Each structure stands twice: as structure tokens, then as C-alpha cells.
């Protein structure tokens, strides 16, 4: 690959460099950088002055375990996680994608742990997942429900073409294909959720208007004490690319300004410090704490 030095983005170069380190099983250092620059025709200054590289390189440095990560800031870690793990499938490093028992999942390990605690505590009848993509998160939720011995996953996606597994007949996962913003989908979800305790996890289209529309349509299924999670609010805060200027966080804030019956639970996602959904865990007031 030859980078156009006038237009190559820092991220494109960093992505290629991480892929190079992973493929060559090399540690970051002058030798690796020189080899990469020679191979890809990149000026060394584009690596050394690259804001992505600073934190990421420390993970690929030839140091002991704690030194590899201790100097990273939380911001650097979040940027690293977003581009090279969370979105690895999109940026050409699929071997870096987070997996759950082999299923590709687009979350963070910290949030998965928080979800496990939430599901255990709430014992929902239905985990309503808006936006399923590969289906790895549905499998994760279903496994947790299986261990608890209660509940099922209802996954909605505008297209199920990216699903990487077939849900078992009579198993805990059901998928519905269609626009979460459509009346038909709302009616079908309403039919299946009638009288049930529902945990909503919204992770579909991240444009503010769509996230807000989902909040207005699907928050009605959350009973007092239950949760509606608006995922990826961190995108707005960190300016992750490609994301809209106004995304899930802006939608969650507007919804909270319009509604008095939900409150933000900061403690649960922040317990593990690095949630991708800060101020996105919305709890309906009332019910058990």
C-alpha cells in the first residue's frame, strides 16, 4: 500500500501499522517502525507524530505486562479499543475483534460484565436488542439467561444478512428483520413483550434522530426499576469516526429532558471505569433499587 502523504489520515496509517505488528508478531520499536515505513512507503514522522500511535504503541512495546499499559491514558485506551477492537471488523483487522465463545461481538468487556450483573439482578423476561449485526451479543445475552434459567433475547435488525449463526429452534433467541423505527416492528415487539419485564439495549442506527425515535417508541416496554440502555454514547464524547456529530448521547440527553420517569444510572457502567455507554444506562424510576 502506498499512502498519499498529503491525505493519508493518522488513523489509516495507525491501522496499517497495528495490522503490520499483528501480522509480523512484532513489538513496537525503531526496527518495527523502520520496517513498516520501508514496506508501506510512509515517512517516519507520520508514525512518530501520530496521535493514535502514542498509546497503541505501548501495547505493542517490548516491556513487561504492567509497563505495557500503565502509561496509557484512559482516553488513549478508549481510542485504541474503539478503532482496533470494537470496530476491528470495519477497519480490516478482524482477528482483533472481541469475541464471546467465538462469536464476534461489538461491545467492550467491561460493559459485558455490567450487563451480566444487570441481567442477574433484574431477571428480565426479554432482552430486547435493537441492532444485532453479527449476533454475537445476542448469543452472549442468551448464554447469561441460560445460566440463570430464565428469559429470552428478541433481536431486531433492519437486515439479518450479517448474522453469523442460526438461532436454534426453541432456543432463547428470536430475530425479527425490519426497521426498528417502523410501526410494523413496534407492533410486533409490543405483541411479544406484552406483560413482560423487558430490558432494552439500543444499538442500531446511531444517528440522534433514530436513537431518539427508538427511545420514544420502546421505552414504554421498560417497567419501573427496569433499564433502557442507549449504547455508544461515548462516540459523541470522543468524536469517534465515522459517527454523526450528534449521536446516541445527544438523543439520550434530549429524551431525559423530555421525560421525568427515567434517571441515569452512572454507578453500574462506571463501576468498571471504561463503559462505551456513559450516561446511557437509563433506569425507569420506581420499582426495586
Ligand X SMILES: C[S@@+](CC[C@H](N)C(=O)[O-])C[C@H]1O[C@@H](n2cnc3c(N)ncnc32)[C@H](O)[C@@H]1O
Q: Using the minimum distance from each CB to ligand X, give the nearer residue, 243 or 256.
A: 243
- In the structure grid, which three cell numbers stand for residue 170, read together? 426453541
Q: Minimal distance in Å, beta carbon 285 to ligand X?
A: 26
Q: Using the minimum distance from each CB to ligand X, give the nearer residue, 106 or 252.
A: 106
Q: Minimal distance in Å, beta carbon 103 to ligand X?
A: 8
Q: Minimal distance in Å, beta carbon 206 to ligand X?
A: 8
Q: Using the minimum distance from each CB to ligand X, give the nearer residue, 180 or 233.
A: 180
Q: Using the minimum distance from each CB to ligand X, give the nearer residue, 72 or 128.
A: 128
- The Cα 160–Cα 178 span in angstroms is 9
Q: Minimal distance in Å, beta carbon 277 to ligand X?
A: 11
SS3 of the chain: CCCCCCCCCHHHHHHHHHHHHHHHCCCECHHHHHHHHHHHCCCHHHHHCCHHHHHHHHHCECCCHHHHHHCCCHHHHHHHHHHHHHCCCCCCCHHHCCEECCEECCCCHHHHHHHHHHHHHHCCCEEEEECCCCCHHHHHHHHHHHHHCCCEEEEEECCCCCCCCCCCCCCCEEEEECCCCCHHHHHHHHHHHCCCCEEEEECCCCCHHHHHHHHHHHHHHCCCCCEEEECCCHHHHHCCCCCCCCCHHHHHHHHHHHCCCEEECCHHHHCCCCCCCCCCEEEECCCCC
Please identify the residue of the shown chain whose CB is closest to the bound ligand X: 131
Q: Minimal distance in Å, beta carbon 6 to ligand X?
A: 32
| Burial status of residue 173 (CB atoms within 10 A of its CB: 0-12, 13-18, 19 or more) | buried
Q: Minimal distance in Å, beta carbon 22 to ligand X?
A: 21
Question: Where along the sequence are the contacts to ligand X (CB under 6 A)?
Answer: 105-107, 129, 131-134, 136-137, 156-159, 162, 179-181, 203-205, 210
Q: Using the minimum distance from each CB to ligand X, give the nearer residue, 136 or 151.
A: 136
Q: Using the minimum distance from each CB to ligand X, give the nearer residue, 118 or 132.
A: 132
Q: Using the minimum distance from each CB to ligand X, give the nearer residue, 33 or 107.
A: 107
Q: Minimal distance in Å, beta carbon 178 to ligand X?
A: 7
Amino acid at each position: 500500500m502506498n499512502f498519499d502523504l498529503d491525505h493519508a489520515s493518522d488513523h489509516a496509517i495507525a491501522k496499517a501499522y497495528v495490522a503490520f505488528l499483528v501480522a509480523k508478531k512484532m513489538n513496537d520499536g525503531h526496527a518495527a517502525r523502520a520496517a513498516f515505513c520501508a514496506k508501506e512507503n510512509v515517512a517516519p514522522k507520520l508514525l512518530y507524530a501520530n496521535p493514535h500511535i502514542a498509546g497503541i504503541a505501548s501495547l505493542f512495546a517490548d516491556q513487561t505486562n504492567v509497563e505495557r499499559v500503565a502509561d496509557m491514558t484512559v482516553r488513549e485506551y478508549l481510542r485504541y479499543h474503539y478503532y482496533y477492537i470494537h470496530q476491528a471488523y470495519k477497519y480490516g483487522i478482524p482477528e482483533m475483534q472481541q469475541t464471546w465463545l467465538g462469536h464476534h461481538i461489538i461491545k467492550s468487556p467491561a460493559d459485558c460484565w455490567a450487563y451480566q450483573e444487570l441481567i442477574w439482578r433484574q431477571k428480565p423476561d426479554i432482552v430486547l436488542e435493537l441492532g444485532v449485526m453479527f449476533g454475537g451479543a445476542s448469543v452472549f445475552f442468551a448464554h447469561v439467561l441460560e445460566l440463570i434459567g430464565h428469559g429470552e433475547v428478541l433481536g431486531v435488525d433492519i437486515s439479518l444478512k450479517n448474522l453469523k449463526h442460526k438461532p436454534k429452534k426453541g432456543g432463547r433467541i428470536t430475530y425479527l428483520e425490519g426497521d426498528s423505527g417502523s410501526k410494523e416492528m413496534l407492533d410486533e415487539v409490543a405483541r411479544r413483550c406484552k406483560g413482560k419485564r423487558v430490558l432494552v439495549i439500543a444499538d442500531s442506527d446511531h444517528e440522534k434522530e433514530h436513537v431518539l425515535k427508538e427511545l420514544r417508541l420502546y421505552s414504554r416496554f421498560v417497567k419501573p426499576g427496569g433499564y433502557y440502555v442507549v449504547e455508544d454514547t461515548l462516540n459523541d464524547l470522543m468524536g469517534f469516526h465515522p459517527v454523526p456529530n450528534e449521536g446516541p448521547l445527544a438523543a439520550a440527553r434530549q429524551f431525559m429532558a423530555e421525560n421525568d420517569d427515567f434517571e441515569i444510572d452512572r454507578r453500574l457502567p462506571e463501576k468498571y471505569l471504561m463503559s462505551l455507554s456513559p450516561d446511557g444506562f437509563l433506569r425507569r424510576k420506581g420499582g426495586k433499587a
